[in-house]
Homo-oligomer: A and B are copies of this chain.
Amino acid sequence: MSEPAIRRPYRREGEEKRRDALIAAAMALVAEGGPEAATVRAIAARAGVTPGLIRHYFQSKEELTHAAYRQVMEAMTHEAMRAAAAIPEADPAGRLAAFVAANFRPPVMTTLLVGVWAGYMHLGRNDPVMHAIHEATYLGYRDRLQELIAALPRPADPARDRREAIACNALIDGLWIEGGSLPDNFDQGEVLRIALDGIGAMLGIRFPESAYQIPPESETPA
């Protein structure tokens, strides 16, 4: 009945490593089974530790949730901005196309990221911290998009730019959700094509054929 109570062996790790592992575990569980699956026990098990350790690195489970959500949102916008910044400023349409395209390939359009987004989305409606994270990343994303649109070579019209940024942002979001939720329903590159065609039509421009190409290394990301 009373086992000899052999204590689980363990290794000491750096704080950053443990925090990252716990955040990653929480994200994966949310993506797979929704927020209700990300219990402290499940998170700890996936991270290879015992539940108590969570409270050692995070003041509460809520704090871990905030950290995970922030990481997800920041990863999305950061990736899109990085792609846009890789194109010279002399090519505004190319920058916009790169910004758009980044949303429709890994590491942005993955079942994990869409799943985490879906699982946490409703929390922004009540939790003020989550709402702040959402606002900071989401509206920041749209503002960045509007800047890229305003840089296009055409007469200036801020009000129009704002409306078009809202529309483009909505189109990207809708396609990202669909493409990430039901990846089997779309051919390779189809979502990107639809996005660029739609945004081009709404802005009255035409993206070069090169914008539609998918970087070959994106098929099997490291």
B181, A166: Cβ atoms closer than 8 Å? no
A53 interface hit (Cβ, 8 Å): no
**Contact B166–A194 (Cβ < 8 Å):** yes
Interface bin, chain A: 35 or more
Say which one of A28-36, A44-52, A209-217 lies at the interface with B.
Answer: A28-36
**What is the interface of chain A, defined by CB distance below 8 A to chain B?**
32-36, 115, 118-119, 121-126, 163, 166-167, 169-175, 177-178, 181, 190, 193-195, 197-198, 201-202, 204
- A32 → chain B, closest Cβ, in Å? 8
Tell me if B163 and A167 are in contact (CB < 8 A).
no
Given A163-B197, A166-B194, verify A34-B122 contact (CB < 8 Å): yes
Contacts of A167 in B (CB 8 A): 171, 175, 194-195, 197-198
Q: Do the beta carbons of B163 and A170 come within 8 Å of each other? A: no
**Residues A34 and B125 in contact, CB atoms below 8 Å apart:** yes
Shortest distance in angstroms between A15's beta carbon and chain B's nearest beta carbon?
Answer: 30
Among B35, B119, B126, B172, point to the contact of A174 (Cβ < 8 A).
Answer: B172
User: Which residues of B sit under 8 angstroms from A193, Cβ to Cβ?
Assistant: 163
